[in-house]
């Protein structure tokens, strides 16, 4: 097949030699290599010889016809026509060769690989009784036995017994499981291969304690020919059933209840179980609430009498989470004392587990709230409003983590693998983080602002062109009260990126007045003014002596300039203004005592006028 294909294609390409097709050598080599790839079992040497023979025969045949032809019979063709035909021949030959080139692999595949299709994964045969998984086998056996079909239940046993012996064994197994097997059916594997990696053909259902030791109740995977591999109760378990059955007390709670509570069923559940759910649980919760009310009143009176504070409120002795935990403990205690069927025990244990999870989560959330209520007044007393915002965020974060942990525990309790949920939560968290990028930036900026303690409520800030007093520091933004009594909300991310000037944390204030003295001031008067000002600064208790300086600075255009520089120690801006006012008044007294006046900005203009010309005297006649 491959040699015939290559011969045809090679002959056609060799024919194109008469038109000097420049792509011929490349096409020959490419087709030859593609043929070898798609025909791995072909004789590659023979294919190469076919290529050479086809090329040589076509060339010699063409040259022979050309030499034997009569020149008179040759048609006269113009040069432009020859050029056009050569161009068309090149284009057509190359296009046809490419078509044949890409058709060869398809032909090779149809000829060599269609006979060996890819093996498909064998499907697990579905069993009508649900014995393809450990959970299906156990639940199917319990359903058949509860319906009284012992013959059907015997088909779930890996035993050589048959007939009545197999039915009796199935009935004994059902009694043992229904009375003594630990209720954890929700943890059974629902996979055909089971969940035990060390023993892939065996699944442990539970362990029953007996006089001779613990007995493992398990199912095993057995090959049943055309039916496939089925999960059946193991022969080792069935050998120990007789001894367990002899130790089992057949009497149940059904024998102590009225007949109508046991015989009447709704949705397959006896009436007394419905009454326990819809009457027993609400009644227990009501009694717990009544007990909480009585104990809270008694303990509250005792606290008020001991502390002698009549306004103390009553404490909740049994809050709602404690009631739920008491209810769960009561349910488990009743299950220990009473002999209930397996499915009923499974329901009540699951209910008690849900009450336990909800009560624990709720209790931790309540305790977290108590911790926040204890810390918040102390932070408020120290004016740590930023820490108060962080405290609220920490509480909500912890509450969310507690609820999330409770959900994971509940999913695990119901036999649900939370791995996929955690993976989806991670992807969802990334999406939320990208969507709330600006919000997270502001929150992180607020957290850094709070931890750095750079700003406190009541501080005077200058953020960019905004000056005001900090009114509140939140997680997303900081609110600033301007001198015009307007409120500006600045995002914390912006504050973290801008230059922040806190005017309230100054330990001392810089005073730098310029004294403009009149030009009429004499040299002795200037000495007197400078000495009196230096003495004033050195004797003032609020002035930092090392920073005080009085200098005759320059001769101005309209005044004699004296510069006074000093640092004044003050606790806040208002006290600084008060001290500065007193100091400036003393400066004025020093200037006035020297007989010097303060120069006013003025400018003297001298106007020059021409002398009046004498008018010529008029002569009289």
Q: In percent, how much of the chain has pLDDT > 70?
A: 71
Confidence of residue 427 (pLDDT cuts 50, 70, 90): confident
* Per-residue pLDDT at 531: 92
- What average pLDDT score do residues 252-273 get? 71
Question: Taking 70 as the threshold, does the pLDDT of residue 122 lie above it?
Answer: no
- What average pLDDT score do residues 281-287 get? 87
CA 293 vs CA 43, 309, 322: distances in Å = 99, 21, 14
Of residues 223 and 388, more confidence is placed in 223
Of residues 74 and 188, more confidence is placed in 188
User: What is the rounded distance in angstroms from the CA atom of residue 480 to the CA atom of residue 463?
Assistant: 10
CB count within 10 Å of CB 568 equals 20
Question: Taking 90 as the threshold, does the pLDDT of residue 360 lie above it?
Answer: yes
- What average pLDDT score do residues 84-101 get? 46
Question: Taking 70 as the threshold, does the pLDDT of residue 87 lie above it?
Answer: no
C-alpha neighbours within 13 Å on the C-beta side of residue 195: 12
Confidence of residue 282 (pLDDT cuts 50, 70, 90): confident
pLDDT tens profile 567-581: 998 888 888 889 999
Q: In percent, how much of the chain has pLDDT > 90?
A: 10
Confidence of residue 33 (pLDDT cuts 50, 70, 90): low
pLDDT tens profile 476-524: 778 888 888 888 888 877 776 777 788 877 888 888 998 999 988 999 9
User: What is the rounded distance in angstroms from the CA atom of residue 182 to the CA atom of residue 185?
Assistant: 8
* Per-residue pLDDT at 82: 38
- Greatest mean pLDDT among 68-77, 254-263, 461-470 lies in 461-470
- What average pLDDT score do residues 329-343 get? 82
* Per-residue pLDDT at 66: 45
Helix (H) or strand (E) holding 488: strand 487-491
Contact status, residue 15 vs residue 58, Cβ threshold 8 Å: yes
- What average pLDDT score do residues 191-209 get? 81
User: What is the rounded distance in angstroms from the CA atom of residue 329 to the CA atom of residue 347?
Assistant: 15
* Per-residue pLDDT at 613: 58
- What average pLDDT score do residues 107-126 get? 48
Confidence of residue 532 (pLDDT cuts 50, 70, 90): very high
Among 172-181, 429-438, 555-564, where is mean pLDDT lowest? 429-438
* Per-residue pLDDT at 48: 53
Contact status, residue 512 vs residue 550, Cβ threshold 8 Å: no
pLDDT tens profile 220-242: 998 888 878 899 999 888 988 88
Q: Which residue has the tokens 């969802």?
A: 428
Question: Taking 60 as the threshold, does the pLDDT of residue 55 lie above it?
Answer: no
Helices 342-381 and 164-180: crossing angle, nearest 10°?
Answer: 20
* Per-residue pLDDT at 16: 47
Of residues 505 and 5, more confidence is placed in 505
Q: Which residue has the tokens 């965020």?
A: 393
Question: Taking 50 as the threshold, does the pLDDT of residue 89 lie above it?
Answer: no
Q: Which residue has the tokens 């002398």?
A: 611
Question: Taking 70 as the threshold, does the pLDDT of residue 28 lie above it?
Answer: no
Of residues 93 and 247, more confidence is placed in 247
Mean pLDDT of the chain: 75
Confidence of residue 59 (pLDDT cuts 50, 70, 90): very low
Count of all residues that appear for the chain in the document: 621
Helix (H) or strand (E) holding 222: strand 213-223
Contact status, residue 58 vs residue 129, Cβ threshold 8 Å: no
Beta bridge mates, 221: 231
User: What is the rounded distance in angstroms from the CA atom of residue 403 to the CA atom of residue 365?
Assistant: 9
Among 279-283, 294-298, 436-440, where is mean pLDDT lowest? 436-440
CB count within 10 Å of CB 494 equals 15
* Per-residue pLDDT at 109: 41
Of residues 516 and 199, more confidence is placed in 516
């Amino acid at each position: 097949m491959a040699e015939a294909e290559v011969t045809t294609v090679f002959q056609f390409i060799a024919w194109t030699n008469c038109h000097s097709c420049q792509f011929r050598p490349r096409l020959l080599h490419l087709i030859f290599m593609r043929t070898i790839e798609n025909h791995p079992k072909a004789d590659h040497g023979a294919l190469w010889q076919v290529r050479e023979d086809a090329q040589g025969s076509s060339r010699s045949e063409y040259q022979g016809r050309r030499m034997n032809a009569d020149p008179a019979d040759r048609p006269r063709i113009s040069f432009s026509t020859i050029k056009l035909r050569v161009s068309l021949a090149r284009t057509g030959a190359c296009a046809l060769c490419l078509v044949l080139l890409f058709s060869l692999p398809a032909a090779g595949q149809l000829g060599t690989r269609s006979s060996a299709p890819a093996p498909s994964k064998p499907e697990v045969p579905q069993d009508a009784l649900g014995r393809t998984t450990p959970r299906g086998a156990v639940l199917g056996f319990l359903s058949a036995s509860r319906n009284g079909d012992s013959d059907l239940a015997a088909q779930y046993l890996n035993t050589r017994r048959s007939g009545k012996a197999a039915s009796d064994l199935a009935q004994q197994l059902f009694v043992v499981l229904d009375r003594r097997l630990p209720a954890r059916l929700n943890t059974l594997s629902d996979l055909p291969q089971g969940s035990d990696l060390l023993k892939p053909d065996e699944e442990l259902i539970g362990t029953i304690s007996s006089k001779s030791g613990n007995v493992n109740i398990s199912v095993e995977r057995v090959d049943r020919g055309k039916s496939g591999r089925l999960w059946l109760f193991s022969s080792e378990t069935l050998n120990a059933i007789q001894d367990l059955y002899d130790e089992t007390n057949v009497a149940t709670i059904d024998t102590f209840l009225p007949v109508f509570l046991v015989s009447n069923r709704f949705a397959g559940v006896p009436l007394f179980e419905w009454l326990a759910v819809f009457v027993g649980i609400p009644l227990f919760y009501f009694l717990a609430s009544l007990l909480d009310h009585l104990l809270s009143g008694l303990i509250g009176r005792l606290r008020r009498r001991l502390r002698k504070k009549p306004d103390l409120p009553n404490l909740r002795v049994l809050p709602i989470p404690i009631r739920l935990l008491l209810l769960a403990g009561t349910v488990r205690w009743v299950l220990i004392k009473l002999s209930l069927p397996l499915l009923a025990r499974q329901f009540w244990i699951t209910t008690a587990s849900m009450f336990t999870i909800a009560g624990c989560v709720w209790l931790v959330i309540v305790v977290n709230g108590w911790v926040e209520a204890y810390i918040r007044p102390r932070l408020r007393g120290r004016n740590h409003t930023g820490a108060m915002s962080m405290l609220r965020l920490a509480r909500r974060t912890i509450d969310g983590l507690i609820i999330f942990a409770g959900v994971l525990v509940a999913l695990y309790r119901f036999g649900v693998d939370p791995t996929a949920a955690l993976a989806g939560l991670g992807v969802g968290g990334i999406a939320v983080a990208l969507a709330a990028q600006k919000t997270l930036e502001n929150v992180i900026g607020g957290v850094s602002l709070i931890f750095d303690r750079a700003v406190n409520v009541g501080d005077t800030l200058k953020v960019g062109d905004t000056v005001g007093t900090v009114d509140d520091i939140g997680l997303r933004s900081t609110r600033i009260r301007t001198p015009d009594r307007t409120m500006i909300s600045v995002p914390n991310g912006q504050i973290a990126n801008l230059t922040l000037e806190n005017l309230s944390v100054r330990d001392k204030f810089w005073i730098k007045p310029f004294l403009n003295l009149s030009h009429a001031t004499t040299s002795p008067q200037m000495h007197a003014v400078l000495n009196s000002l230096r003495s004033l600064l050195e004797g003032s208790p609020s002035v930092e002596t090392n920073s005080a300086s009085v200098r005759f600075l320059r001769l101005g255009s309209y005044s004699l300039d004296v510069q006074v520089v000093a640092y004044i120690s003050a606790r806040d801006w208002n006290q600084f203004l008060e001290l500065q006012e007193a100091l400036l008044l003393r400066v004025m007294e020093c200037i006035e005592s020297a007989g010097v006046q303060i120069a006013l900005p003025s400018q003297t203009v001298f106007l020059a006028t021409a002398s009046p010309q004498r008018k010529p005297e008029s002569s009289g006649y």
